[in-house]
């Protein structure tokens, strides 16, 4: 009798389990796509030394830490800062035992970006902080480019890639109104006046690296990598008559 009861209860349990499993809906949380961070890390033994860094628009302590391969607590301690929120645009920071600077390029999942538009600043010197001040004075929401490639002036190294808040926040640009490029084109400004001088080798190396990184991730065709003056309706000679288009295009893969 006991065995029959066990068999009966077991059968009931199996039937109920089958009903529940057939009626249960599995709810899955939507996957969140985080930006992919591209930051070349130093390899082997590198020469480290203390450097001073001027905080650019949109830069965080985390980003500066990655750029110089120095832990955030070390930077806070060296500058007598209590927390990362104390960081301010234009602030001069001591970065102790810094490795050679490396770009930190975030790649955000998006189907918005169809073009890369190359500019020159038309000035002998400049930085993201300088352009931020100038563009803000014109009533714009800060620096109009997404990336700036420095020429060794205004505390920035020759070839240093600066990432502007517009890229970090994935905002429209303010670099080329013609052709609607502000809404679909990534604006890259190389500091210098290339109607009078030539792009430095370090700037060209950085530009090629940046553009290759962006075009591969966003699947941007070579024909859509253009200079400002090549945009239909744009009335400018930017990025200048000495910009080496042949060399630049040959180095893109």
SS (H, E, C) 195-209: CCCCCCHHHHHHHHH
Do 117 and 227 form a contact (C-beta atoms < 8 A)?
yes
Q: How far apart are CA 144 and CA 151, in angstroms?
A: 18
Identify which of 119, 118, 123 has the alpha carbon closest to the alpha carbon of residue 192.
Answer: 123
CA 142 to chain centre: 16
How many C-beta atoms surround the C-beta of residue 16 within 10 A?
A: 10
Each residue's pLDDT tens digit, 193-203: 999 999 999 99
What pLDDT does residue 85 have? Answer: 84
Is it the case that residue 14 has pLDDT exceeding 70? no
CB neighbour list of residue 88: distance below 8 Å, 6 or more residues apart: 55
Q: How far apart are CA 226 and CA 249, in angstroms?
A: 10
Range name among 20-34, 53-67, 225-239 with the lowest pLDDT average: 20-34
Catalogue all structural domains in the chain, each as residue range(s) with its CATH number: 36-98 (3.10.350.10), 110-250 (3.40.80.10)
Is it the case that residue 46 has pLDDT exceeding 90? no
Each residue's pLDDT tens digit, 145-154: 999 999 999 9
Identify which of 75, 47, 67, 42 has the alpha carbon closest to the alpha carbon of residue 161.
Answer: 67
């Amino acid at each position: 009798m006991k065995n029959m009861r066990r068999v009966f209860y077991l059968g009931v349990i199996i039937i109920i389990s089958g009903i529940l499993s057939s009626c249960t809906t599995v709810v899955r949380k939507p996957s969140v796509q985080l930006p992919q961070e591209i930051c070349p890390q130093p390899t082997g033994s590198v020469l480290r030394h203390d450097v001073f860094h001027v905080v650019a628009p949109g830069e965080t302590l985390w980003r500066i830490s990655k750029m110089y391969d120095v832990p955030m607590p070390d930077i806070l301690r060296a500058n007598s800062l209590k927390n990362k929120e104390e960081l301010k645009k234009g602030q001069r920071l001591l970065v102790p035992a810094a490795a050679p600077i490396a770009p930190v390029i975030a790649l955000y999942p998006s189907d918005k970006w169809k073009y890369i538009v190359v500019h020159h600043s038309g000035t002998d010197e400049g930085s993201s902080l300088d352009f931020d001040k100038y563009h803000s004075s014109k009533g714009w929401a800060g620096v109009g480019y997404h990336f700036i490639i420095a020429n060794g002036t205004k505390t920035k190294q020759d070839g240093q890639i600066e990432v502007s808040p517009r890229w970090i926040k994935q905002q429209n640009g303010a670099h080329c109104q013609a052709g609607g490029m502000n809404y679909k084109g990534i604006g890259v400004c190389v500091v210098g006046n290339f109607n009078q001088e030539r792009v430095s080798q370090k700037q060209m190396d950085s530009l090629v690296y940046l553009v290759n990184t962006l075009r591969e991730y966003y699947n941007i065709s070579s024909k859509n990598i253009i200079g400002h003056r090549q945009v239909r309706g744009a009335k400018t000679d930017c990025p200048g008559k000495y910009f080496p288009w042949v060399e630049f295009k040959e180095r893109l893969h």
